[in-house]
Amino acid sequence: MAKAKKRQAMGRGLSALLPTEENLEKGGVAGRVLEVPLNQIETNPFQPRTQFNPETLSELAASIAELGVIQPITVRKLAPNSFQLVSGERRYRASQYLDLETIPAFIRVANDQESLEMALVENIQRDDLDPIEIALSYDRLINEVALTQDEMSKRVGKKRSTVTNYLRLLKLDPIIQSGIRDGFISMGHGRALLALENSKEQLALYKKVVANGMSVRATEQAVKPKATTPANATSDFTAKHIDTLSDFFGASVHTSLDKNGGGKIIIPFGSEKEFNTIRKKLNS
């Protein structure tokens, strides 16, 4: 720890170039990047992120110990010696871990709602969030910042359909949401499970997906309603031969049956050359 503090004192990256608030003349500090004491900064109660990976925090701390804080955090001023984080909590936590005294911070003027919006939007831009964290951030932007889905898609630079797909995940059973957060299933699995409106059915299939390592495609097939065959319908005796016919003709062969057991073999072709190839095989 002492070694880290020594490195920081010798060459503190961005910190070495910045004035502290005490060294500035009286006046506004909004819009400035200052060296702010860590003990004057409180965490953001609006922080949408609840999980911080200890391993990646340790890696960030090692980088800061070597190079200093390259990108300043963002804070808002609450009182003469009191600030609140808007964004950059990982850098803030890593600096605390190193027992640093100050951190470069960009000072913003923001009320509670603006602080919440900035924290949420900044958080959404991260590339290491799980789908449920993103969905919860979108949900808070709609319900607490009062953004419409159109406004939000513009604000975060995402298509509205993308936003809608994330928000739909919040309709899943909480156990399944936890499964997505913990990496047991993907967002694609979750979207497939949404086809089941009954929570018990969702959970039953979720357990099967996890236990058997089912793919997204297999999960999608599992939720499709099974076609029922009428009692008087003729069984499709051609189905087991389709692959053989398709391989022989080099085309995707189809069959259709009527109620009497008769039917047609359909061999599609995309050009005269393909037609002639099929014709030759029929005549061989």
Say how far apart CA 121 and CA 98 lie, in whole Å.
Answer: 28
Residue 46: which of 111, 126, 129, 106 has the closest Cα? 111
List all residues 6 or more positions away from 149 whose beta carbon is below 8 Å from its beta carbon: 142, 160, 163, 164, 167
> Would residue 122 show up in a list of annotated catalytic residues for this protein?
no
Is residue 8 within 8 Å of 65, Cβ to Cβ?
yes
Q: Is the Cα torsion angle 241, 242, 247, 251 positive or negative in sign? A: positive
Give the containing element (helix H, strand E) for 255.
strand 254-257
Residue 257 CA, distance from chain mean position: 46
Catalytic residue among 21, 89, 117, 133: 89
Is beta strand 41-42 parallel, antiparallel or unpaired with respect to 254-257? unpaired
Is residue 118 within 8 Å of 36, Cβ to Cβ?
no
Is residue 84 within 8 Å of 41, Cβ to Cβ?
yes
Say how far apart CA 150 and CA 143 lie, in whole Å.
Answer: 14
Say how far apart CA 203 and CA 185 lie, in whole Å.
Answer: 12
- Residues labelled as active-site residues: 89
